[in-house]
Structure formats: structure tokens, C-alpha cells
Amino acid sequence: MDPQLEAVRVLVVDDEESIREGTDRILSRVGCHVLKACNGAEALAILAEHPVPIVLLDMKMPGLDGLEVLRRIRVLNPETLVIVITGYATLETAVTAMKDGAYDFIPKPFDPDHLLIVVRRATEKLRLVEETRRVNEERRLTLTDLHTEKSRLRTIIESLPNGMAVTNHMGHLVLMNAAFRRLFALDAEKEAGRPIEEYIADEGFCTLVREISEGRHLDAEDIPGYELALGEERYRMAEGRPILGERQDCCGAVISVVDVTSLKLLDRLKSEFVAKVSHELRSPLSTIHEQLAVVLSDIMDVAPESDQQILARAKEKTFGLISLISDLLDLSRIEAGILCRQAQPVQIRDMLNSVTSFLRPRAEAKGQELVLELPSGPALPVVFADPLALESILGNLVTNAITYTPEGGEIRVSADAVGKNLRIRVKDTGLGIEARYLDRIFERFFRVRNDMTRHITGTGLGLPIVKELVGALQGLVEVESTPGQGSTFTVLLPL
Ligand code: ADP
């Protein structure tokens, strides 16, 4: 038995019985399944009933000759391998047969080994054909799967409730879903493929998308969200992430967009409510505070000490409430865009002098030194900003420095121009802030609570006000601090 030839079906077509029987014997011995036909018609009848992959076909037969049988087999089943059996005298016929699609030929008379070599070669060819067919089929199935997967992904993206868009590394929009079109009121006919600016008329948004697409924001956690106001009270919040390739190279960006109109309106209602309540509370509280002060001075020498203490604490708490209310009102005004509206040229030297002079008595009362350092060379550039906003920023930072620095400490306020920015620094030798709180101190109502700050009153709104104001002036505020040694707050404002 030969594993390669075992059970391979072979049809021998020859009018010579000795050839048929001899071939049968040789091939059956190695495991082939041999069928026999003594003329062309019989062979075609067998092949019509069950396909046989290999046919040994004599060329010279009475009735239908070999060539005709070959042509008909090719029509019946082009994949059948026909090996032509020919005498030396009919070599020419063999050549014609090969041209007509015969796979091989074997001259008569042939010995067993020669026959086996030719049939083995044919089975190898059959195996290769089968292998190729299988590989092609597998490829077709994989492609079909890929295609199905692609359409499935497309359907999912298309059905997402959030707006979703993808850009390439040049910031060209390559894909957007239905929600994205709806959120930006884009025409359904508008095809993707053009630069992002051709779809969204918001410079800041387009700049951010372009920067992310070009790989200039690789730390996804650090990418700021972007709010777009589309007019007619419509607000959108967009967030983008870079799409990184296998080698961490940026090949574009994916942008997700949600409608935040209702949140914005709710936020505004809340702010208006807070502003109204604060406003209503401020006058009566101020009156109570003033009256408490009057009563306290009136009873200074006549009332018992304990009563004086109760009234003094009430006065102190009332003052705390008044501070909270003014901070809340300031925040409402900043949110409503009122506080930064009056931009005008400000001489920063005068502004710093006035704020430090105003707060120096407070520092001196704590035995602290409040130093203003200004560059000796050319005058500081003029800043174009709302003076009230600048005053509030500096006032809050210097007040904090005084508040959170123990007696006898030092506070240094300095200003200089760096590049296109004005840099103002407020440095103290105070309590300092632990690294884990450095981001949180800019959150509303956040106060560091420990043994050293417990007795210090405050609202937790000073730094949020500073951050909002600096943001409104397109600047930024940073803090560096070492617990126990002091802090430095730096404000950068564009010139
Ligand atoms: P408040 O001072 O009213 O508590 P802020 O928003 O101004 O609110 O400050 C928030 C917190 O940040 C403070 O409670 C304090 O713990 C910390 N902080 C601010 N400035 C300084 C500073 N110069 N030194 C140390 N801690 C500070």
C-alpha cells in the first residue's frame, strides 16, 4: 500500500485487455481503486455517473478516438486529470493531446514503476489543486468575516447616542456618526473626508482636534474637554483622544460629543439662585454684624466677660458668613462673565503696590514681612485686563499667604515678563501644602484640614475664584509647595 495513492480512483480506458488488466494489477496493489473501460463511450458513461479524478486514456481506440474522448472529458469535468497512453508512433497525437488539456502522457509499453511515477505525480497535482482550493476558500471566508465585522462596527458606531467622529493624522474628518451630524446640524448629504474646519465653525475646537490628530497630546488623561456654544442656547461638550498605532505613533483622533445644553441651563439656574439668595442675605447679615460691633463696644466694661465672649464669637461667625456670601457672589459674577468685562490697560506696578500696601498692616499685625520685588530694569509691560479681576486675584493670593504663614514669616510678591507672559509670584514661608492636595485646593469649598489649619477660618472659595478669573483672562495659575517650608503661587497672564 502507498499512503499517497490509497483509495485514489483511477479509470483506465484502453481497447487492449492486457493493458487494462496490467494497469489494474499495478495500481490496485498500491491501494488505488481502479475502474476499467474498453472504449470511449463506456468511459464517458462511467464518468457521467461518478466523477473520477485520474483517467488513463489510450489514444488509439476503435469508435470514439482518444482525442475526442479527451475533449468530452474536459467539457464534462475540467478538473479531471487525463494521462494519455500512446505508442511511440503516435507521439504527435500525444503532443496534440497535451495541447488539448491532457495533464501528462505515458508511452506504451510502460513498466510498473513508470506508471506509478506518472500516477503519483497526478495525485500530487490533485493534492495541490485541493490545497489551493481550500486556502482560497479560507481566504474568502476570512474576508467575508472581516466584511461582516466591519459592517457590524459601522452599525454600532452609527447607532451610538453620543456624537462620534474620527479624524486622520492631518485633522481630516474620516468618519462621523448620525448623532455627530445631528449635534452639529450637519447636512446628511455632507460626506466625510474634508478638514475638520469645513464642518465645525469653532476655532478652538478645530485647533484642539488638529493638535490631537497630529499627536501633540499623547497623554490622553491630560487632554482637556472642550465646550462649544452653538448659539441659540445650544451647548456641546467634546472630548478627544489620540489613536495610537502599533509603534505608538499617532494616526488620528477619535472625538466624542454630548449635548450639555440642559446641564448648562441647570447650572445657570443654580448660579442665579445662589446669587439671589446671597444677595438677599448680605444686607441683613452686614447689619447684624455692625449692630453686634456696636453692642460689643457698649457693653465692654459693664457686661460679664462670658457674655462679651458670646457676642464676640457671634460677630466673628457673622463676618465668616459675610465673606462666604461675597465669595459666592464673586463666583456668580465670574460665571455670568460680569467680572472680567471691563478690560483696560493696567499698570501692573501700581496695582501690585496698591494691593501690598493695603494688606501690609495685616501682615505686620502677625509680625510678618511683606516684600514687593519689582525688576529694576525696563518698566513692566502694561496688561490689558479688568483691574477688579486682577485686584481680586492678587488680593486672594496675598491674603492666603498671610493667613497660612505663621507669625514672623516672610511673604515675597514679585513680577516680571517672561516671553509673551507677565509672571506674578507670591511666595511665602508658611505651612505649605502636601502634594496630594495641590490640585484639590482649586476645587470649590476644599480646605486642607489638619492641626495647623483647624483654627484658621475660610470659605474654600478664594483659590477657585483665582482660578476662574485667571482662566477668564486666558492665563494660568500654578502652585509649588513644600510642607513646613512654604508655597509659591505663580500666575501667568498673556501680554
Ligand atoms: P480658604 O483660604 O478660604 O480656605 P482657598 O480656596 O483660598 O480657601 O484655599 C483653599 C485651601 O488651600 C486653604 O484652606 C489652605 O488649606 C490651602 N492654601 C491656600 N493658600 C495657601 C498657602 N499660601 N499656604 C498654605 N496653604 C494654602
Mean pLDDT of the chain: 90
Greater confidence (305 vs 23) lies with 23
What is the pLDDT averaged over residues 313-334? 89
How far does the centroid of ligand 1 lie from the alpha carbon of residue 460, in Å?
A: 7
The whole-number pLDDT of residue 211 equals 92
The whole-number pLDDT of residue 15 equals 93
Residues 117-130 have pLDDT tens digits of 999 999 999 999 99
Pocket test for ligand 1, best of 319, 331, 400, 488 (most atoms within 8 A of CB): 400
How far does the centroid of ligand 1 lie from the alpha carbon of residue 466, in Å?
A: 11
The whole-number pLDDT of residue 88 equals 62
With a 6 A CB cut-off, is 409 part of the ligand 1 pocket?
A: no
With a 6 A CB cut-off, is 475 part of the ligand 1 pocket?
A: no
What is the pLDDT averaged over residues 305-318? 91
How far does the centroid of ligand 1 lie from the alpha carbon of residue 456, in Å?
A: 10
Ligand 1 atom index nearest CA of 489: 23
Residue 172 has pLDDT above 90, yes or no: yes
Residues 317, 292 contacting (CB under 8 angstroms): no
Residue 89 has pLDDT above 60, yes or no: no
With a 6 A CB cut-off, is 240 part of the ligand 1 pocket?
A: no
Residue 381 has pLDDT above 90, yes or no: no
The whole-number pLDDT of residue 7 equals 84
> At 349, is the pLDDT very low, low, confident or very high (cuts 50, 70, 90)?
very high
What is the pLDDT averaged over residues 126-135? 92
Greater confidence (363 vs 269) lies with 363
Pocket test for ligand 1, best of 319, 413, 433, 490 (most atoms within 8 A of CB): 433
Residue 340 has pLDDT above 70, yes or no: no
What is the pLDDT averaged over residues 248-265? 92
With a 6 A CB cut-off, is 462 part of the ligand 1 pocket?
A: yes
With a 6 A CB cut-off, is 393 part of the ligand 1 pocket?
A: no
With a 6 A CB cut-off, is 428 part of the ligand 1 pocket?
A: yes
How far does the centroid of ligand 1 lie from the alpha carbon of residue 334, in Å?
A: 20
What is the pLDDT averaged over residues 27-49? 93
> At 191, is the pLDDT very low, low, confident or very high (cuts 50, 70, 90)?
confident
Ligand 1 atom index nearest CA of 458: 3
For the entire predicted model, the pTM comes to 0.57
The whole-number pLDDT of residue 322 equals 92
pLDDT above 90 covers a percentage of the chain that reads: 60
Residue 272 has pLDDT above 60, yes or no: yes
With a 6 A CB cut-off, is 308 part of the ligand 1 pocket?
A: no
Max mean pLDDT among 146-155, 380-389, 425-434 falls in 425-434
| Among protein residues, the one whose CA lies closest to atom 14 of ligand 1 | 447
With a 6 A CB cut-off, is 483 part of the ligand 1 pocket?
A: no
What is the pLDDT averaged over residues 394-423? 94
How far does the centroid of ligand 1 lie from the alpha carbon of residue 447, in Å?
A: 6
Pocket test for ligand 1, best of 330, 370, 404, 480 (most atoms within 8 A of CB): 404
> At 343, is the pLDDT very low, low, confident or very high (cuts 50, 70, 90)?
confident
> At 168, is the pLDDT very low, low, confident or very high (cuts 50, 70, 90)?
very high
How far does the centroid of ligand 1 lie from the alpha carbon of residue 423, in Å?
A: 21
How far does the centroid of ligand 1 lie from the alpha carbon of residue 383, in Å?
A: 26
